[in-house]
Each structure stands twice: as C-alpha cells, then as structure tokens.
Structure 1
Amino acid sequence: MYDWIVLWDLVQVAVRWLHVITAMAWIGSSFYFVALDLGLRRAEDLPVGAQGEEWQVHGGGFYHIRKYLVAPATLPDHLTWFKWESYSTWLSGFALLTLVYYQGAELFLIDPEVMDLAVWQAVAISMASLAFGWVAYNAICRVFVNANQTAVMVALFAVLVGMSWFYTQVFSGRAALLHLGAFTASIMSGNVFFIIMPNQRIVVADLKAGRKPDPKYGKIAKQRSTHNNYLTLPVVFLMLSNHYPLVFATEYNWIIADLVFLMGVTIRHWFNTVHARKGQPIWTWAATALLFLAICWLATAPMRHPAPEAALKGEALILAAAPGFDDVVSIVQGRCSMCHAREPVQEGIHYAPKGVVLETPSDIAREARRIYEQAGLTRAMPPANMSYIEPEERAAIVTWFQRQGQAL
C-alpha cells in the first residue's frame, strides 16, 4: 500500500514537471514571436510579399529573419510548426488537474462551507466550465470580428470577472483561482488548436495547390495570438496562487484575480510597445504598481478586521498563559495534528503534508508564521475546514501571533 502511495506522488511530480517544462516552451515561443513580429523592419531588398525583416544575434551567430504577411510564392521544403508546446501544456495541465483536484476533490476542490457538492458534481462543473470558456470567448471574437480589438478584450474581461466570482461561489478558494487559470489557459490553447493551426493549414494547402492564399486567415491567426500574449502572465500567476493563502483564501480572492488580469495587460503593453519601437509608456509602470498595491490591500484586509468578541473576552487568559500560546497549542493539536503528525491518523493521509509536523509545542512554535497565515488570517487550512475549526479559534491564533509573531 505504501509503495502505491509513493508511486502516486511521484506520478504527480512527473506530470507537474512536464507541465512546467511545456508551459515554459509555449510561453517562450509565444513571447519571442510576438516581439519578433512587432520589431520587424522594412528593407529595400525585401522579396515580394515580405512584410519585414530582423537581424538578431544569439549563441555566437547571426540570424536573418523575414516574415511574409500572407505566404511566400512557393512552399519551402522545410517548415517548422509551433503547436505541440500548446497542446502538451494543456494536456499535462488537465492531467495534473485530474490527479490533484479531481482525485483529491474532497480535500482541494470542494469546500462544504462554500457549496456542499458531491465529487461527481464538482468534477462535472469543472469540466463544463472549461468548455464554456472556449465557447464564450470564440463567440465574442466572432461578434466583434470587425470591431476594434479593445472591444474584444473588454468583453472577454467581463466574462473573466463573472467566472472569477462564479468559481469562488462553487469551489474552495484554492480551486477557484486555479480553475480561473485553467479556464483562461483553455481559451489560449483553443486558439491554437481550433483557429491558428487550421488557418495555417488552409494557407499551406493553397500554396501546394498553386492558389493564392486569402490574407484573412493570417489576420485572424495573428489576432488570436495577440490575445494569448496578453493572457499569459495572469495564467502563470493563477497557477502559482495555490501556494499563497493570502491570495486564494481571502474573501476578496475573485477581485484580486481580476486585478491580476489588468496587471497582465499593463505589463505586456509596455513590452509590446517597446518591441514595436513606439516609445516607452511609463504610465504602465505606475498603473501596474497601483494595481499591485490594491492587491496587497485586499490580501491583507483580514489583518485590519477586529477579532470576534468571543476571542477578546479571553484576552486576560491569553496574556496570563504565555501570551496565548497554550491555547494555540490546544487548538492546533485538536484541529491540525491528525494530518500534520509524524504518523498521521487521518484517513487517506500517510505522511505530514509538505513535511509540516504540528504535534508538540516546539513544532507549533517553529511553524508559527504558517499557522498564522494558513489557519488564522485565511481559511486555507484545514482544507475544506474538515476538522471544523471555529472562527473564535482562528481569532485566537491571530491574536497570539500578532502579539508575539515578531519575536518568533
């Protein structure tokens, strides 16, 4: 039995590593080609149909790159396609979603205090929402096909705001932000699979048949590629958010996620403007900083909330008993140590999650900051509040740490 548990964890490690590697490849190639496209220069000796060229130096050599706006006169013998980076990222990401959130739905996906779902219901909502993302986004692009692209992005942002709120009303905070990232990544990968690659295949087929390709296919593909460029950074943030309870376990998590999408726009706008040699829009720095400060303010909102009256009544006792430490030890041992033990007794837990052990007073003192953030300021722990920790107990942890945290 233990060997299977270890093997299952190693499978998760392998899939997570694969997902990170393929995502790096996809993001890297996406950023590179958008920057290359924006930086193309006109030259007198460009062949017919060429939009521009670029000279680059890397790895001890020089590269001379030309882009044809529609297609070259004849199909080259060697043509490299960029598609598997996107497909592999989505497939490995969905596999990881299945291994962690579907298989561990009762621990990571479902929070009965948010919505008491059966596992099959939660998984069905998850999968249906990912499909809905592509359908909604593609419909927006078709409706606004001849409009300014800003209208497309505003409409998409409205959908993302709605989905960020929806996910937080259905799943745990951790799963809500992760799903918003998967929702957006599905749109991006759908762009490659359903639009960009088929359009490029049409152009290639026309070249092979001796027909002149229609420029609309390249125009549409470029539009979708640009959308992906602006969505990438928020997706990376959302995929990493499960490590930071101050982001995913706050009551304002859906607003934080929406602000991150706006940050993605301001950051990429600066880079894209610079790559296009259109100046340096310094205002994007200020906008990004203000958005991040707003996120910090929302994430730390629980610190500014007064402790519940029930906790304040015990203030004298907290001060008398080693500034509340004995109470915190009792709370943590009763609510957390069944999992966070050298030999866990909680069913399905075979070793302390992330190696965090909370059995003895010294264990608890050593992990004071984690306890404060994960179980005091936020509801990140216990997952789905499976040990039914009370608000007064969370308040006691906060009161204890805020008085003694600097000394720990």
Structure 2
Amino acid sequence: MESIVWEWINLLLRWLHVITAIAWIGSSFYFVHLDASLRRREGLPQGAGGEAWQIHGGGFYHMVKYLVAPARMPEDLTWFKWESYATWISGFFLLCVLYYRGADLFMVDPAVMPLPRWGAVAISAGGLAAGWLAYDLLCRSPLGRNDNLLAAAGFVGLVAAAYGFTQVFSGRGAMLQMGALIGTMMTANVFLVIIPNQRKVVDALIAGREPDPMLGKKAKQRSMHNNYLTLPVLFLMISNHYPLAFGTRFNWLIVAVVLVIGASVRHFFNSRHAGKPTPWWTWGVAAAGVAAIVWLSTLPPAASEKVASAETAAPAEPVTFARVEEIVVSRCSMCHAQTPVWEGLPTAPRGVRLDTPEEIRRHAGLIRVQSVLSHAMPPGNITEITAEERRALAAWTADPAAVQ
C-alpha cells in the first residue's frame, strides 16, 4: 500500500508542477510580448513609455506601461508571483519524492562517483544554492551593466556547472540537476529581485516619493533572463525520459547547445513582437543545434567498463535468444516485471515488462535505446551488467529476427 501511495504522490505532484509551470510560462511569455509590442503615441499619460491595443475573447484591451510608476497608486493591483513560487515548490517536492528518495537509482552512478544517497542529496541541494549565489553575484558585478557580456558569462557558467554535475551524478541525474538549478535561479529572480524591487516602487508611491528607476531596470533584466532560459529548462526537465539525451558522455555539451537553441527561438519571437526586422537566421541556428545534439547522442556513451562501446564491438561468441533472455531477466526484470521486487516500485516503470520471452522480443527497440545506444539502463548500472552482455544485446537488437 505504501508504494501505491508514493506513486500517486509522484503523479499528483507532477500534475501540479505542469499546471503551475504552464501558468508561469504563459504569463512570462505574454508580458515579454506585451512589453516588446508597446508603441509610443501622442496623448499618453505622463511617465508612460508606450501603449498596446489587443483583442481577445470578444473584447478589446488597452494596456499602458509606465517607465517607472504612475503618478498615484491604483486601487487594484495584480501581482504576478504565485505562478513562479508554486512551480518551484511543486518541482522541489517532486525532486524530493522521486530523485532524492530514489537517489541510489536515479542520481548515483558508481562508475562516475560512488556516492551514498545522503551525499548525492547534499551535493544536489548545495549545488542549487551555490548556483543561485554565483549567478546573483555575477548580475551585481560590473558585468551586470552590459547585457551581452553578462549573458556570455552566464552561459559559460551554466555550461561549466553542467560539466561539473556530469562528473558527480549519473547522466539522468546531471540533466535533471541542471533543470532544477536553472529553475531555482528563475524563481529566485522573482522572489529575491523582481518582487522586492516592485514592492520598493509601490512603497515609494505610497510615501509620495519618486521611485528609483534602477529598480525597474534591474527587475526587467532578471525577467528577460527568465524569458530566455524558459525553453532550455523545459528541455532539461523532460530529458530524463529520453536516454539518448542524457546517456551520451557529451550530455553536458548537449546542455550547452540547448541553451543556444532556446535563446535563438526566444530571440526570434521577441524581435517579432518588438516590430524589429525578422531574424530568420535564428531558425537556422536552432536547426543546426538540433542536428548537433542528435549527432552527439549517437556517439558512444562513456565506457564505464573501460572497453569499446557495446554498439561497435562484436560479442565474444555467437548470440542466441536464450542468452539474451538470461541477460534481460537477470539484469532488468527485478524492476520490469508484473510484480517488481525493487523496493518502492509498485509497477514496472512505464509499464514495460521484461519477464517473458514475448515481452522481451516486443521491447527490443527500447532495449537497444536504453542499454546499447546509451547506458541509461540499468540505472547507474546498479545490477552490474557487463560489457560482454551489452555486446550480446547489441548483436540481438541489431537484427532480432536473425537471432534464434
């Protein structure tokens, strides 16, 4: 019963996380679009930087943006913050329920670093805090006065963090950790910079003082960072379901390319919304980036056994299906069975059973992706599958019909 409860907690947290993320991303994209589409026209109120007319749901909307603040406080003021907070809180609880609780299965790879569960959790949580502090100090440094230099330095920092995490965690754990790190940075921008600065502006208006225009500029800078990081963080969060994304030894480089792809796509839409010349070249960059990560995913995984990859080396002896069945049952069926024996798994992951010859044959393609083209399975090689066994699986999955 306990396993069933945890499974439902996992599902409901994931559902909540997706709902809140949609709300946050939607409001973020909308306001960046609105800000870029504002136009200066005669007759605007004093202090207004532009206006925009929009139509939606059968009605017209007239939006006016003040560069600093209106002359007086409005009676009703809507704050956009809860979407961000709820996304991070639900995401962190999901991280605890799934990855921290199952760190030995999802985060630790003894071939990378033999960490105890508590050590992996401590490094992960500490990495989130350290990553935010480093980013915040970077924004407050002299580099923060130049958006382009700051973006370049931030990119280098994120790629360095990705490489560092791949030297500590499993490939899946490193990619998820990068998604959690960027998500933490984004929410901390809202909680520690954007909202506090907006409160200072409101307090100044209430007190009858002229608000400091730098407060709005700093908040806008962090908001744009969030906007450009949204697409990469979405990729990183879903990558844990796709071993070709995290199973290569160049997964940290895939993170770097995804950062470029996401920024390029957002730049296209931001430029269009602002009425600037359409940067069609961004789609070329994005297409080249996608091609690059597909190519990187085909390269052999890091050979933890210090031997040639299972994809290219030939098995030592002819492969029979009886041998394949023996490997899969002994290395995989403790989880992928009608009744898994692995603690905490009430059902086979993703409904994939590998406990009968029929099921093994039916899932030959998945076995190839998970255990040959990548070393995603078994997670962290927890059942100690050997290089020779991977080579046998490689020979069988290359042409299942030919192996009897």
- Residue number in structure 2 paired with 1:276: 274
Q: For each residue in 1:131-176, what CA deviation from the matched residue of structure 2 results, as whole angstroms up to 9, or x when unmatched?
A: 0111111111111356320100111111111110111111111110
Deviation of 1:302 (Å): 3.0
Would you say 1:352 and 2:348 are equivalent positions? Answer: yes
Q: Residue 291 of structure 1 aligns to which amino acid in structure 2? A: G
Q: For each residue in 1:230-270, what CA deviation from the matched residue of structure 2 results, as whole angstroms up to 9, or x when unmatched?
A: 11100000000011000011111111111100111111111
3-state SS of 1:170 partner: coil
Deviation of 1:4 (Å): 2.1
Q: Residue 20 of structure 2 aligns to which amino acid in structure 1? A: T
- Residue number in structure 1 paired with 2:331: 335
Would you say 1:377 and 2:373 are equivalent positions? Answer: yes
CA contact (8 A) 2:311 2:372 kept: no
**Cα gap change, 1:36/1:254 in structure 2, threshold over 3 Å: closer, same or farther?**
same
Would you say 1:33 and 2:11 are equivalent positions? Answer: no
**Cα gap change, 1:144/1:403 in structure 2, threshold over 3 Å: closer, same or farther?**
farther
CA contact (8 A) 1:167 1:179 kept: yes
3-state SS of 2:175 partner: helix
3-state SS of 1:51 partner: strand
- Residue number in structure 2 paired with 1:133: 131
**Cα gap change, 1:372/1:42 in structure 2, threshold over 3 Å: closer, same or farther?**
same
**Cα gap change, 1:119/1:306 in structure 2, threshold over 3 Å: closer, same or farther?**
closer
Identity %: 54
Would you say 1:71 and 2:69 are equivalent positions? Answer: yes
Structure 1 residues 347-356 or 225-234, which shifts more?
347-356
CA distance in 1, matches of 2:297, 2:355: 29
CA distance in 1, matches of 2:332, 2:223: 46
Structure 1 residues 326-335 or 74-83, which shifts more?
326-335
- Residue number in structure 2 paired with 1:11: 9
Deviation of 1:334 (Å): 1.5
How many residues are treated as equivalent by the alignment? 397
- Residue number in structure 2 paired with 1:159: 157
CA distance in 1, matches of 2:276, 2:401: 49
Q: For 1:363, which of 359, 366, 372 is the aligned residue?
A: 359
- Residue number in structure 2 paired with 1:111: 109
Q: For 2:248, which of 247, 250, 256 is the aligned residue?
A: 250
3-state SS of 1:339 partner: coil
- Residue number in structure 1 paired with 2:85: 87
Q: For each residue in 1:257-286, what CA deviation from the matched residue of structure 2 results, as whole angstroms up to 9, or x when unmatched?
A: 111001111111111111111011111111
Deviation of 1:327 (Å): 2.5
**Cα gap change, 1:347/1:187 in structure 2, threshold over 3 Å: closer, same or farther?**
closer
CA contact (8 A) 1:144 1:151 kept: no
Would you say 1:326 and 2:322 are equivalent positions? Answer: yes
3-state SS of 2:290 partner: helix
**Cα gap change, 1:301/1:146 in structure 2, threshold over 3 Å: closer, same or farther?**
closer
Q: For 1:50, which of 48, 55, 70 is the aligned residue?
A: 48
Would you say 1:311 and 2:314 are equivalent positions? Answer: yes
3-state SS of 2:49 partner: strand
Deviation of 1:386 (Å): 1.4
CA distance in 2, matches of 1:71, 1:211: 11
Structure 1 residues 95-104 or 139-148, which shifts more?
139-148
Deviation of 1:351 (Å): 2.6
CA contact (8 A) 2:315 2:388 kept: no
- Residue number in structure 1 paired with 2:304: none
3-state SS of 2:55 partner: strand
Give the aligned CA root-mean-square deviation in angstroms: 1.8
CA distance in 2, matches of 1:282, 1:401: 41
Q: Residue 273 of structure 2 aligns to which amino acid in structure 1? A: H
CA distance in 1, matches of 2:251, 2:322: 32
CA distance in 2, matches of 1:125, 1:380: 21
CA distance in 1, matches of 2:10, 2:345: 16
CA distance in 1, matches of 2:98, 2:390: 27
CA distance in 1, matches of 2:79, 2:401: 54
CA contact (8 A) 1:368 1:405 kept: no
Q: Which runs of 5+ in 2 are unaligned?
A: 302-307
**Cα gap change, 1:405/1:154 in structure 2, threshold over 3 Å: closer, same or farther?**
farther
CA contact (8 A) 1:173 1:249 kept: yes
3-state SS of 1:260 partner: helix
TM-score computed with the length of structure 2 as normaliser: 0.95
